[in-house]
Amino acid sequence: MDNSICTSHTAILSMIMGSSIATWSILVPPIMALASPRDSLLLAGALVSGAMVGDRTSPMSTSLLVMSKAAAIPHFIASKQAIKSAILPFLFAGLLFYIANRFVAPTSVLGISAPVFKSSQVWLLIAPISVIVLAILRVPLLFNFLLAFGLATLLAWFHPTTHTSLITIMLFGDKTASNHLGSSLGGLLSMVSLFIIIVAAGAFQGITSLTQVTERLTASLFAYAKGPVTRTWSTFFVAISFSLLMGSQSLAILMTGNALLPQLGSYQVPNINTFQILADVSELLPALIPWNILGLQASTILSISAVSFMPFVWYIWITILFCFLRTWKVLSRYAS
């Protein structure tokens, strides 16, 4: 199994789930536990790349719904555009992962001969398989999570361990499920930083909405931008800035849409092009930002810092590059 195949399988599951976080939660623990240290960063890049394909493109993705609302276009048009524009970056990223696996890191990603599970441990797969099946059947997320929680609780109850150990795992995470880096997986205490980011991001968004300071700053920026090249850089500066400032992927999308929609609309740029910027920058970039909720969850599940796997998430970088060239072409036509 090479990294290009891993990217493809992850992308398929993320298209079904409509969520990068759900995809990582299912695939990352067993795969990263079996990866060698040499392959871990490249494999992390492949897993993040594949999961973000569905997070950006799947018709079931809540992010796609937020982007269509922020760009003021129908959901089915947004879905069609997202799928169409994802094909080339995904193929290029898959090719790069294949080349890296073939010539740079030729060893197998899962370079061990031992089975993942013993035959007596197959029953441990009941909970994750149930989550996948219910997601495919489009069962409401709340019921899906409640069933997963119930099954996990039942399995933990009959697992040969003490209640003290279960409480320790609940608070600090499970070290026995960690990868080769030795980091624990899960734990309520690891969610404290996530809670702080959510509160800070919400407060920042509320203040900026009340004062409308971001809209005024964006209008001033575009007032000084002359020519398609400068306006393209200004557009990307706004999109990247909100991705960096907002601690949430959804807030980055909404704030970027609110700021760019009137400015690009003044050049008669169709809303579908604004959607493209939201889909290619504001939706994807948060997965690489350590202080964004999405990036924090990715690094927590992978047990690898976002700064470390950032250079290897080739699908995101290629998509952003394509978006920059596409935006420059559009602004050359409408805002020259």
CA angle at residue 11 from 41 to 7, to 5 degrees?
35
Please give the mean pLDDT across all residues of the chain.
Answer: 80
- Chain-centroid distance of CA 225 in Å reads 31
pLDDT at 28: 80
Question: Which residues have C-beta within 8 Å of that of residue 112, sequence separation ≥ 6?
Answer: 34
- Structure confidence by residue, pLDDT tens digits, 182-234: 445 556 666 676 667 667 766 766 776 666 777 778 888 888 888 889 999 99
- Examine the pLDDT at 88 and tell me if it is beyond 90: yes
Token pair of 229 as six digits: 């090249």
320 against 179, higher pLDDT: 320
Token pair of 14 as six digits: 């993320």
Phi, psi of 185 (to 5 degrees): -105, 130
Rounded to whole angstroms, how far apart are CA atoms 10 and 8? 5
**Percent of the chain whose predicted confidence (pLDDT) is above 70:** 75
pLDDT at 315: 95
Question: Which residues have C-beta within 8 Å of that of residue 272, sequence separation ≥ 6?
Answer: 71, 73, 77, 81
Q: How confident is the model at residue 137 (pLDDT cuts 50, 70, 90)?
A: confident
- Chain-centroid distance of CA 220 in Å reads 31
- Structure confidence by residue, pLDDT tens digits, 6-46: 888 888 989 988 888 888 888 887 777 666 666 788 888 99
User: Taking a C-beta distance cutoff of 8 angstroms, is the pair 207, 253 a contact?
Assistant: no
Between 51-60, 101-110, 185-194, 237-246, the lowest mean confidence (pLDDT) is in: 101-110
pLDDT at 117: 46
For residue 254, which amino acid is it? L
**What's the sign of the alpha-carbon dihedral 126, 127, 131, 132?**
negative
pLDDT at 176: 52
Q: Is 49 helix (H, G, I), strand (E, B) or coil?
A: helix
